[in-house]
Amino acid sequence: MKKYLLLSILLCHGLFAFAEVINLKSVGGNPDGKTSNTAIIKNAIEKLSTDGGGTLFFPAGIYLTGPIVLKSNITLDLEAGATIKFSDDLSEYTPFVEMRYEGVVMKSFCPMIYAYEQENITIKGEGTIDGNGKKWWYGTFTIEGAHKDENFRKELQGYQEMWSKENSGFRIEEQSDWKRTLGKRFFRPPLMQPYKCKNFRIEGVTVVNSPFWTINPEFCENVSVIGVTINNPDAPNTDGINPSSCKNVIISDCNITVGDDCITLKSGRDLQGREYATPCENITITNCVMQAGHGGVVIGSEMSGDVRKVTISNCVFDGTDRGIRLKSTRGRGGIVEEIRVSNIVMKNIPKEAITLNLFYSNVPAEDFSERTPVFRNIHISGLTGSDVNIACTVLGIEEAPISNISFSDINIEAKTGFEINKAKDITLENVRVSTEIGAAYKISESENIRINNVYISKPLANKPVLEVSDVNNMFVQGCFPEKGSQSFIKLDGQKTDNIILTNNYFGRLSTSIEKGSNLNKSAKIIEK
């Protein structure tokens, strides 16, 4: 009784108040899925913002709208059965706003949910956000000449001209692979792009039919994406969750099925990304399930402002083209480092379970400079994979070998095994690969390799377990190969030297070491 009396006194004197809640229906919202609610939603957000913030509640129904521009201290709350369906009238997304598209800041179509330099924004509930992206997908193909609707073609040409006028001051490096992409001048908006915001949270909702990238915070701080379902399986470039140049990000308990990468970390593209120099850092990805996409968790290729301090754990990839994918190319610059991956299960992976690749696009070789991308200090452990095509590739470049990488407690059933090229300071420990084609481990043009207890689950007839070429400084211990392989290790290459094998048991093989025809004749090889 005393508690209720105290609460009544506080309310009477204005000392305790609840944040305002606006029910969209109560202010004229129409949930018929056909009538535009753009102006009503905008007015409701303006009122909440003027009053210091509050919640815009969407009861069950389908609410058609143009872009929603959020302000500080605003929550969108979607009831189960509620759908926010975005208009496919392209004119609703103009005038152009400042945004980022594939790592390049520009003026272009307003994202469907957008905020600029705001804070304390939440999108939550059990409802659905429908990007209605089909017309946008066709728009991209129209630029390439595939669409037959002449009126639509003219409409898109008008947007091209508008884009060229708004972005006339672009600086582009001569060898940038961005030049070809920029020529389209028609850029589908991401479904959600908070831009330079703080404390952005999205929780519980289902997101479908994104026109382009789905949840894409840019230059944000303190981002949480919790318990979200994303379903864009047949749509082009509809990445799931793409924090770019963001700090302090938590992604957890999400279920993602998309037409591109499921979760991707980025930080800007080429010269402009290096000039903004805003890394993506302090990132936690955990307890997520990814069922379709080009990659499960991806870093790059737009990583010119650096990506660092990332943990990826307790995730399942079931049917993604690749599992863990780090990609970049000459011209990007930037550093990817301090990455930890653990407790991962993969199944039905048509390409690589793990890939670290600095050859994402065909940029010619050049000397080391600020344009050179760097991958280093990356550690992967506790990974199980089955029905995999390629276990792992680590592909560096001459001027920047991938360095300080470790693989431990790995068990993968794959058609082909590990391929490591142009790398240094690499550790493989307790790694088991079951392969069908070629040697289980191929290492070339690399140095400072440490191998402890690597093995295969079935013998490789006419093939060695390890195939080594032009490798300097390799230490191999604790291995116990199965009977039936041609040999344990085959050494070749003029640069191969200082190979030490110790505390291994090769008694079940007829040959432990093969020497290739091009092996350095003065190579130091020690077996004990």
483 conformational bin, left if phi > 0, alpha if psi -120 to 50, beta if neither: beta
Structure tokens at 377: 């200090």
Q: What are residue 315's phi and psi, to 5 degrees?
A: -120, 155
User: Which of 239, 260, 321, 492 is the catalytic position?
Assistant: 260
In the structure encoding, which two tokens stand for residue 419, read together? Answer: 């391929």
Q: How many CB atoms lie within 10 A of CB 453?
A: 17
Amino acid in position 174: E
Both tokens of 366, joined, read 């050049």
Tell me if 100 sits within 8 A of 195, measured CB to CB.
yes
Q: Is the CB of residue 391 less than 8 Å from the CB of residue 415? A: no
* Residues with Cβ within 8 Å of residue 487, at least 6 apart in sequence: 464, 465, 509, 510, 511, 512, 513, 514
Residue 192 makes CB contacts below 8 A (sequence gap 6+) with: 111, 112, 113, 114, 123, 129, 202, 207, 214, 215, 216, 217
User: Is 260 part of the annotated catalytic residue set?
Assistant: yes
Residue 70 and residue 121 in contact, taking contact as beta carbons nearer than 8 Å: yes
* H helical segments located in 29-149: 38-50, 134-143
Integer Cα distance of 446 and 471 in angstroms: 5
> Residue 171 and residue 179: Cα distance in Å, rounded?
10
- DSSP for 380-441, please give it: EEEEEEEEEEEEEEEE-BTTB-EEEEEEEEEEEEEEEEEEEESEEEEEEEEEEEE-SSS-SE
Of the residues 88, 294, 425, 470, which is catalytic?
294
CA distances (Å), origin 387, targets 342, 374, 496: 20, 31, 34
The catalytic site residues sit at 260, 294
